[in-house]
Chain A
Amino acid sequence: MSRKMVVILFAFIVSIVLLAGCSGGNAAKTGATDQGKELVYATAKDINDMNPHLYPGSLPAQGMIYESLVENTEDGIKPLLAESWNISDDGKVYTFQLRKDVNFHDGEPFNAEAVKKNIEAVQSNASKHSWIKLSTKIMSCTVRDEFTIELVLSEPYYPTLLELSMTRPYVFISPKSFINGETKDGVSGYNGTGPYKLTEHKTDQYATFEANENYWGGAPNVKKITAKVLPAGETTFLALQKGEVNFVFTDDRGADSIDVEAMNQLADSGDYQIIRSEPMNTKMIVANSSKTGHPVHDTAVREAIWYSIDRETISKKIFNGTETAADALFSSNVNYANVELKKRGYDLETAKKILEEAGWILESGSEVRTKAGNKLAMKLYYDANSSTQKTQAEFIQNTLKKIGAQLELTGEESSSIANRRSTGDYDLLFNQTWGLAYDPQSTISAFTSESSYYHTTSGIAKATELYKKIDEVLVSADEKTRKSLYADILTIVHDEAVFIPITNGSVTVVAPKSLQGISFKQTQYELPFERMHFE
């Protein structure tokens, strides 16, 4: 019996050691980054599915791999995969001359045939792309010759080129990676035309991108970029300090992985530099006006919330002055957004007055206002990975309490919040406008899209009028009409207070001091890694 036991015990321990031994397999990767050659950036979420025609993937990562026909720059639309283009006089036919020296990462040539297949793959999954109005306007896509492609629209649509320049969905993946001629059910590889290739991906651990030596624009200088999954906050800060990662930037949801104070501390240490873009977007709280019978359906409530946000303090204390207070959905430097709108500053007395007038009464002895038995209580969803959103939420919760409104806070993953936005399962949630390249036309056209802001806008009194104007403005060819239509649209949503602005956000990069050539694109969703180089 005793020998038997010893044998069993021995077997048990050996098997444990063997099993644990398997873990030695990936011991080769070392902790610290090879400073001066590669970038390792921290990301709170895995890069996820890199299929460029669907939406779960990380935008900055997709931006490295895939490219669009044209590029949106400060000076307007510039060529990218298309060398040149012309638009027919009726504005319905776009003909693109493609670059002839481009290959996909798998060696397949980039040509008109590939463009056609990609665009058709996107179009065949139309319901997912309804936020981008171009997807509803494309009638056909024809190959004229090997490097000429023709896009026919159902009606003239002025933001066509803008929407073709976006990070997704109109970007190109090798037709060899399609599954059954489609991309909507997944792809077999992530072969784009961009400056970087995805070479390794370990879910929830890291993803490695290596320079595309055959990139048509010249091989990028930074040879290797790794996206490392780290919880935001102190873990990332520590990893930066120790050099386990050496790059962080504001992610596609507007969340910074470390706070301003930590950034300054890193810059003070002398190893890092902080670079901020121009203000790019507006961070805001979005109210679900379509929830009839609920307090958020009431314009007075939304206005009162607007008045109860102390944007100056948020800007100074939570963002240490790096973001400025925002008074309207779009700051006035955005195209067409220079509109005279009523300013609603931080003013609790006005907020209370508005609520009183709208019939929200504070019974003596109670803390929450009621109207016809309905409590003035709402839920606010924030991104659990963003510490600043949580702090803002708590701060706003506190001021709202002072006017007799109760705010319940729930932190969730960004994907869950995106789901709530598209299904209308929310009262209030944090969001941001889509950034320079998208504002105002795409953000505004998303007002009508069920997957974006439909629930936000559909419950307001003038919803039908609003939607009519949005449809008109996107197809109007006359600059003056456009201007006045945009002014009307912005006034309607401003008066209804469905988009409650907080601050103007920018993209912030923390990078090693020796990294040069850090610049920004017109979109907050991508960084031009290919332009960076080490000194």
Chain B
Amino acid sequence: MGSYIIKRSLISIPLLLIISFLTFVLNNLSPLDPAEVVLYAQGVPKITDELITETKAALGMDQPFLIRYLKWFVSCLQLDFGNSYVTGKPVWSLLGPAFLNTLKLTLLSVIAIIAFSIGLGVICALREGKWMDKSVRGVSFFLTSMPSYWLAALMVWYFSVKLDLLPTSGMDSYKSYVLPVIVITISFAGVYFRIIRSAMISNLNEDYVLYGRACGLPEKKITMHILRNSLQVAISVFCMAIPIILGSTVVVENIFAWPGLGTLSVNSILSRDFPIIQAYVLVLAAAFVLFNTVSDIINAAMNPKLRKDL
């Protein structure tokens, strides 16, 4: 197991390197000259060519591409993503808290999604093709077809305005979590529910089930077996769900004025604050790779067969 963990982790390192390189290249594609942008940000009123050359030298931008990349990469490892063009504050001082706020929202939503999709997935798989299965699936299709912001508006109108139960926006108390979590859960639970359901069904058709039934094992026990095997699917899927949702809360955060990554990234785009956009992409892609690695390791821990795959 230990060697598997090491091997699997080593594999993700080149991936992280490639990602960081791509992010760096991406930023260099931006139509604005970074030196010029830095000068704007400092509010320098007249930008002359000499000033640009000077700033370039000061920022080390006259150096070869690869050296610039290496320097940038090393500073990123120390969470130094440079300063925001707009506020001049270090990027991490803005990104860090936003990341935490979004993470809280994401984890709570993932728990809710797990509860719903596993619960309904198991029930529906056991009653495949029956009335219950069909209607839950129908509803899930319908719910996933709803634009989340529309749903959010509806919820705010009903729960916050009509019933006056919950705050409309912001992140003031535990109550603030309720609506965003519900909206995220609804827009994702349908998808994950279907994945769990089909994993369960394919397990149901496995030989061991047939064998167990033939041997007269009680149905309850067989279900437990299936459940255990399906949980493996669930865990790996949900490990992936965390970074995915982390990156997809943009719209929901915007509606609920959540001070998270989504709000930050959209604001940065609208104010053309490139260092923040770059750091945002890098951090989330890295999170994506890390969670992916973790999910593989957990899977391998549960299923020794998989360890040989590497």
The answer to whether B171 has its CB under 8 Å from any CB of chain A is yes
Within 8 A of B (CB), among A37-52: 48-49
User: Do A20 and B104 touch (CB < 8 A)?
Assistant: yes
User: Do B164 and A242 touch (CB < 8 A)?
Assistant: yes
Count chain A residues whose beta carbon lies closer than 8 angstroms to a beta carbon of B. 58
Instruction: Please encode chain B, from 93 to 126, with 1 for each CB lying within 8 Å of some chain A CB and 0 for all others.
Output: 0100110100110011011000000000000000
Q: Across the interface, which residues of B come within 8 angstroms of A451, CB to CB? A: 43, 45
Instruction: Please encode chain A, from 127 to 156, with 1 for each CB lying within 8 Å of some chain B CB and 0 for all others.
Output: 110100000000000000000000000000
User: Do A30 and B172 touch (CB < 8 A)?
Assistant: yes
The dominant DSSP class at the B interface is: helix
In the complex, the chain B residue whose C-beta lies closest to that of A417 is B271
Q: In the complex, which of the residues A127, A202, A239, A241 contacts B259, with contact meaning CB atoms closer than 8 Å? A: A202
The answer to whether A35 has its CB under 8 Å from any CB of chain B is no
Between B110, B172, B173, B232, the greatest number of chain A beta carbons within 10 A of the residue's beta carbon is seen for B172
User: Do B254 and A5 touch (CB < 8 A)?
Assistant: no
Complex-state Cα separation, A8 to B294, whole angstroms: 12
The answer to whether B18 has its CB under 8 Å from any CB of chain A is no
User: Do A56 and B94 touch (CB < 8 A)?
Assistant: no
Q: Across the interface, which residues of B come within 8 angstroms of A244, CB to CB? A: 167-170
Q: Known contacts being A415-B86, A416-B271, is A228 close to B170, with CB within 8 Å?
A: yes
Complex-state Cα separation, A238 to B160, whole angstroms: 9
User: Do A17 and B170 touch (CB < 8 A)?
Assistant: no
In the complex, the chain A residue whose C-beta lies closest to that of B156 is A238
User: Do B43 and A55 touch (CB < 8 A)?
Assistant: yes
- Shortest beta-carbon distance from B84 to chain A in Å: 10
Complex-state Cα separation, A206 to B257, whole angstroms: 11
Complex-state Cα separation, A186 to B89, whole angstroms: 9
Q: Across the interface, which residues of B come within 8 angstroms of A449, CB to CB? A: 45
Within 8 A of B (CB), among A225-269: 228-231, 235, 238-239, 241-242, 244
User: Do A422 and B45 touch (CB < 8 A)?
Assistant: yes
Q: In the complex, which of the residues A8, A16, A56, A130 contacts B302, with contact meaning CB atoms closer than 8 Å? A: A8
Interface residues of B (CB under 8 A from A): 36, 40-47, 86-89, 94, 97-98, 100, 103-104, 107-108, 110-111, 156, 160-161, 164, 167-177, 228, 231-232, 235, 254-255, 257, 259, 263-264, 267, 270-272, 298, 301-302, 304
20 residue pairs from A and B, CB less than 8 Å apart: A5-B232, A5-B302, A8-B298, A22-B100, A23-B108, A26-B171, A30-B172, A49-B89, A127-B44, A186-B88, A203-B94, A230-B169, A230-B170, A230-B257, A235-B257, A244-B170, A413-B267, A413-B270, A419-B40, A451-B43
List 11 other contacts, CB 8 Å, given A242-B160, A413-B86: A2-B228, A19-B107, A27-B174, A49-B89, A127-B46, A128-B45, A203-B94, A204-B98, A230-B169, A244-B168, A412-B272
